Amino acid sequence: MQPEKHHADLRVTALVSIGKHPGSARERRAGQDARAVELGMTLASDGLEVLHAGDPQAEALRSYAGMGLDVLRVLDQEENADVVPALCRYLSQDKPDIILTGVRAESGESSGMLPYLLGEALGMPVVTGIADIVAVDGGEAQLLQALPRGQRRALRVPLPFIASVDMAAPAPRQSAFGPASRARLESTPAGIACPDEVRAQWSEAPARKRPKRLQVVKAKTAADRFKAATAKSQGDGGRILRDKPAPEMAQAIFDLLLEEGVVRGGR
């Protein structure tokens, strides 16, 4: 028998940001943040609060509301203001059981530091890159953390905690126009003005693609060059070192750095 995921008495806060489409650069709901909202609705739809710090007039916020929210709360502050002090002030008073965020934002600084800064300020443990919250029972939550190559790690974390939601989490439901237009966007003054002076001096530009590494082919004939160009790559995609002695794992990393030319071996 599977544990019950929905908890009526659980208080969950999902932090959302303004996303940016990678092709058109139009504002939209952020993919990871939308998954955090979906996870919160599955876990505690009655006790879920969706919170945004920024411009309450941002049209992209309606995309979150269109997932079936009645209310979306916005801490009103300027564009270049630091969101951490305002969120810390509000969350320290609200005191939810679980705070969900995306791993990183799709626009702005996109450093992925928000969960860690909130965890340090609020004194709450932080779990990164979760794929699901299996159950909450006895003051603890059973989580599945997303690992590379589709692996999962089972964790138990005491309440309250902060978790960043990975793209491996369940996909968010479609945003509907009707619920989006009927939802209330309640704007609350942030109560603290903390302009990010460093970010205000930045200049943003589209990222450039990194050049691909070309394989050096030492072929003498046309047949050898054709064979090298059409041959399937024999790379094994790396290795996973787990429960190995520390010297062995350190040596494997050092050998890889030598192979890639990052460091040079001494005589």
Residue 267 counted as domain residue: no
Report which residue type is found at 26.
R
In this structure, what CATH number is given to the domain that contains residue 167?
3.40.50.620
Cβ neighbours, 10 Å, residue 235: 6
Q: Any idea which residue has 């909130």 for tokens?
A: 118
Residue 132 counted as domain residue: yes
Token pair for residue 252?
């494997």
DSSP class per residue in 4-27: P---TT--EEEE--EEE-TTT--E
Ordered alpha helix ranges (H), 53-101: 61-65, 83-94
Q: Any idea which residue has 């940001």 for tokens?
A: 17
* Domain span including residue 143: 12-200
Residue 178 counted as domain residue: yes
Strands 152-158 and 48-54: unpaired
Counted domains in the chain: 1
Residue 125 counted as domain residue: yes
The reported pTM is: 0.73
Tell me which DSSP letter residue 231 carries. S
Contacts of 198 (CB under 8 A, 6+ apart): none
CA 146 to chain CA mean position, Å: 11
Per-residue pLDDT of the chain (267 residues; tens, 9 = 90+): 344 566 668 899 999 999 888 888 888 899 999 999 999 999 887 889 999 998 888 888 999 999 999 999 999 888 778 888 889 999 998 889 999 999 988 887 788 899 999 999 999 999 999 999 998 888 899 999 999 888 899 999 999 999 999 999 999 999 999 988 898 888 888 777 666 666 777 777 777 777 776 666 676 788 877 777 676 555 555 677 788 888 888 888 888 888 877 777 654
Token pair for residue 251?
């040596």
Token pair for residue 156?
């138990």
Q: What is the C-alpha to C-alpha distance for residues 92 and 122, in angstroms, rounded to an integer?
A: 7
Residue 180 counted as domain residue: yes
φ and ψ at residue 259, rounded to 5 degrees: -65, -40
The answer to whether the CB of 163 falls within 8 A of the CB of 149 is no
- The H or E element that residue 118 is part of is helix 114-122
Q: What is the C-alpha to C-alpha distance for residues 210 and 213, in angstroms, rounded to an integer?
A: 9
CA dihedral 219, 220, 224, 230 (to 10 degrees): 40
